[in-house]
Chain A
Amino acid sequence: METTTKTDLEDFRLETRRWLEENCPASMRKPIKDSNDYFWGGRNATFTSEDQKIWFEKMLEKKWIVPYWDTQYGGGGLSKEKNNILTQEMTRLGCRKPIFSFGISMLGPALHKFANEEQKMRFLPEITMGKTWWCQGYSEPNAGSDLAGLQTKAEDKGDHYLVTGSKVWTSYADKADWIFCLVRTDFEAPKHNGISFLLIDMASEGVSTRPIKLISGKSPFCETFFDNVKVPKENLIGTLNEGWSIAKYLLTHERQMIGGVGETDQRRELHDIAKDHLPMKDGKISDAILRSELTMQDMNDKIFEMTIQRIMDEAKTGVNAGALSSFFKYYGTEQNVSRMELMTAITGSDGLIWEGDDKDAMNQARLFCRSKGNTIEGGTSEVQLGIISKRILNLPS
């Protein structure tokens, strides 16, 4: 572990700032509008612009695709402090992430904790080079909130597993190269004890996908079908039948991601948007009830941001914030849903436009519809409240 002094860190900050200013193209410093603005990597990687390609390659060369992973896995080997500085400087300049990858945000942490060295060497460098597009195979048609009731089975066939079943809500399954999957390997054991964590190549024979259309229109979600898919045994992560603990670990990361933790909030405050749309009288929004509703929303948004900061500050002093991921997921998504509801109220008939010439207005109605999924995906609000009751408040079952 390298030791760093305060001057080292200050030097690093200046160097980093200079490097980013020189190497991050101007168009890569504009806010992301939709998922098309991201680079996703993968076997069939496509860049949507030359700048996107330049930015990715510069960061790759610098080993800053995942700056905080160890260098042996292709990471940048940065200390926590230096990584924080890099994040701060990127935020300051508005630099986009060079790649959007579930491999980095979700699978990576699980591999670090549960995979053997051979597996780490096999999968992590591919992630840091942006060569594998990963998707997640958790939910099933009959295993949603009751995730541990999943039925996709992996039979032991000596040198391989034979996988049969189906997954649902697989984001980008139609584009991904690999899927990390929860499968049932023991049908006799209590449901939590018969689950294993398996990595499956989406190009394997017997894998097929079907996109799911949401109420908002098209979506990244798919159904994924496994029809007698042969999976080599070395693709099992962790111990056989103990996949549930990996699943739980990974869900903590997912909840924080959906709850918006760690994202810099560049959203405009509601009252600011409201001023553009609503009639005012004597310097006040005329609709007194709407005024009070959106004030309450803005105030809670602001206090939620303070709470994210407070809990991150506490975590730095060694307080375990893991148990709070359900709080973040619950509160963050409930806030987002009520915010979108208020946006619809504020934008009136413009906010209802579904198709037409005005692309921005059209987006509002679809975002509103999409938000209804927030309190469901990644564990429903009710599931999160159940976790808080049992794990944090110790209420009896």
Chain B
Amino acid sequence: MALILNEEQKMLKDSANEFLAANAPVEQFRTLRDNNYEAFDTDLWPAIVEMGWTALTIPEEYNGLDFGYVGLGQVLEEMGRNLTKAPLLSSIVLGGTALVHSTNAGLKSKWIPAIMNGTSRIAFAQDEKNYFDPSVIETTAVATANGYQINGTKKMVIDGAGADAYVVVAKTEEGESALFLVEADNKDIAIKTDILLDAGTYATLTFDNVNIANDQRISEPGKGDELLNLVDNAGAICLSAEMMGMIKAAFEQTIAYLQERTQFGKRIGSYQALQHRAAKIFCEIELCKSVVITALQGLDNQAENLDELACLSKSKLGKTLKVVSNEAMQMHGGIGVTDDVNIGFYFKRARVAQRLFGDYNYHLDRYARLNQY
């Protein structure tokens, strides 16, 4: 398959670029933050639903567009460029992927239209430790007379506050990680929210003898680990697409600064010490573009090597975003470390994005494990 966008995908990218520049630029991110860390602009989400972005990866049988992850990735890239705050990653990529690949028809027909229409949103509750590691799930789901009882604590739940339901990963008595849908209004769930470095809201959820019915199980018995792996791959790859947008924006702003800032009577972009560093970043960005589109296509084609593609994209983008955000700060000089300019937002968001779905060391190790060494 050619590693380029087709005409429809290009048009989608262009329209996302225009829409977000007009409706959700970085200045809006600043306003939300200054407004006591408001999670979202309430008008934006209905407008995004209107644009059809929540329907891109939803199959036609649920009136979705079945347009694919390459398309959704283009939207996420543009959101990353603008640091747009919207629950597209949490509700559609994570919640949506889990539901679309579920065999539970009742859950699907209730929740897929609701998240696609924006009337409800879902958050994904997986992490338990300080680091991403899906092999360590201590939350338990014990079978009861007519359902399951869930106990445990979940950290780093993206957009967890205000979600209508959670997709919860818990170990069953059979020892597999299974996915359950738990409605948020359950009185036995305690929620604590943290504002992190990126001014985003993340929840810690404590499940204390939370009882749910049998029909709330998303993954079939014996298929939980596989579904969890797919959702994690989708998360890693789609977040990589968002990071691509951040990398491009931070780099473009830095190049513009190198072209205009004058010191010692010369524009600083004329100094070779800075030129070569900028050129090296350019090369790394060329690599990032290729791995992101390959991985997004892999999601659409259900590629056999999807695990490997997720490792390649998340580690490469993680490493590059770290370099780009650091260099962006350094090359901006003093102004870069002030809150007056936006470049620091990318630096802060970079560190949170690095942590989510595994940092580059995690994926390096995972890649080696996949290849048996």
Q: Let me know if A158 is at the binding interface, CB within 8 A.
A: no
Q: Let me know if B283 is at the binding interface, CB within 8 A.
A: yes
Q: Let me know if B267 is at the binding interface, CB within 8 A.
A: yes
Known: A275-B373, A306-B291, A397-B270. A388 touches B4 (CB 8 A): no
Tell me the bound Cα distance from A336 to B312 in angstroms: 19
Residue contact A395 to B373, C-beta cutoff 8 Å: no
Tell me the bound Cα distance from A384 to B369 in angstroms: 36
Tell me the bound Cα distance from A250 to B316 in angstroms: 33
B277 → A minimal CB distance (Å): 9
Known: A285-B373, A299-B367, A396-B270. A385 touches B312 (CB 8 A): no
- Taking residues whose C-beta sits less than 8 angstroms from the other chain, chain B's interface range is 35 or more
Residue contact B3 to A393, C-beta cutoff 8 Å: no
Residue contact B279 to A307, C-beta cutoff 8 Å: no
The interface-forming segment of A63-71, A110-118, A143-151, A290-298 is A290-298
Chain A residue with Cβ nearest B271: A395
Known: A296-B364, A324-B286, A330-B283. A283 touches B373 (CB 8 A): yes
- Digit string of B13-26 for contact with A (CB within 8 Å is 1, else 0)? 00000000000000
Residue contact B312 to A303, C-beta cutoff 8 Å: yes
Residue contact A310 to B255, C-beta cutoff 8 Å: no
A236 → B minimal CB distance (Å): 35
Tell me the bound Cα distance from A313 to B289 in angstroms: 13
Known: A313-B3, A396-B267, A397-B270. A327 touches B286 (CB 8 A): yes
Known: A300-B287, A330-B283. A271 touches B368 (CB 8 A): yes
Give every chain B residue within 8 A of A385 (Cβ-Cβ): 275-276, 279-280
Q: Let me know if A304 is at the binding interface, CB within 8 A.
A: yes
- Digit string of B121-143 for contact with A (CB within 8 Å is 1, else 0)? 00000000000000000000000
Tell me the bound Cα distance from A300 to B287 in angstroms: 8
Residue contact A395 to B259, C-beta cutoff 8 Å: yes
For the residues of A in contact with B, the DSSP-based class is helix
- Contacting A at CB under 8 A, from B1-33, are 2-4
Give every chain B residue within 8 A of A5 (Cβ-Cβ): none
Residue contact A292 to B364, C-beta cutoff 8 Å: yes
Tell me the bound Cα distance from A356 to B303 in angstroms: 47
Q: Let me know if A284 is at the binding interface, CB within 8 A.
A: yes
- Contacting A at CB under 8 A, from B230-288, are 255, 258-259, 266-267, 269-270, 272, 274-276, 278-280, 282-283, 286-287
Tell me the bound Cα distance from A397 to B276 in angstroms: 13
Residue contact B371 to A271, C-beta cutoff 8 Å: yes
Give every chain B residue within 8 A of A156 (Cβ-Cβ): none
Tell me the bound Cα distance from A20 to B9 in angstroms: 40
Chain A residue with Cβ nearest B315: A299
Known: A271-B373, A284-B373, A393-B278. A327 touches B283 (CB 8 A): yes
Residue in A274, A307, A331, A396 whose CB lies within 8 Å of B259: A396
Q: Let me know if B293 is at the binding interface, CB within 8 A.
A: yes
Residue contact A327 to B367, C-beta cutoff 8 Å: no
Residue contact B4 to A317, C-beta cutoff 8 Å: yes
Give every chain B residue within 8 A of A291 (Cβ-Cβ): 368, 373
Q: Let me know if A15 is at the binding interface, CB within 8 A.
A: no
B295 → A minimal CB distance (Å): 9
Interface residues of A (CB under 8 A from B): 269, 271, 274-275, 280, 283-285, 291-292, 295-296, 298-300, 302-304, 306-307, 309-311, 313-314, 316-317, 324, 327, 330-331, 382, 384-386, 388-390, 392-397
Extra 5 A-B pairs, beta carbons < 8 Å, given A285-B368, A327-B282, A394-B259: A292-B364, A303-B290, A388-B279, A388-B282, A393-B275
Closest 4 CB pairs of A and B: A389-B275, A310-B3, A388-B279, A395-B269
Q: Could you give 26 example pairs across A and B, Cβ below 8 Å?
A: A271-B373, A274-B373, A284-B369, A292-B361, A295-B365, A295-B368, A296-B364, A299-B364, A299-B367, A303-B287, A303-B312, A306-B3, A306-B290, A307-B290, A310-B290, A310-B294, A314-B4, A316-B2, A324-B286, A330-B279, A385-B276, A385-B279, A386-B275, A388-B282, A389-B269, A393-B279
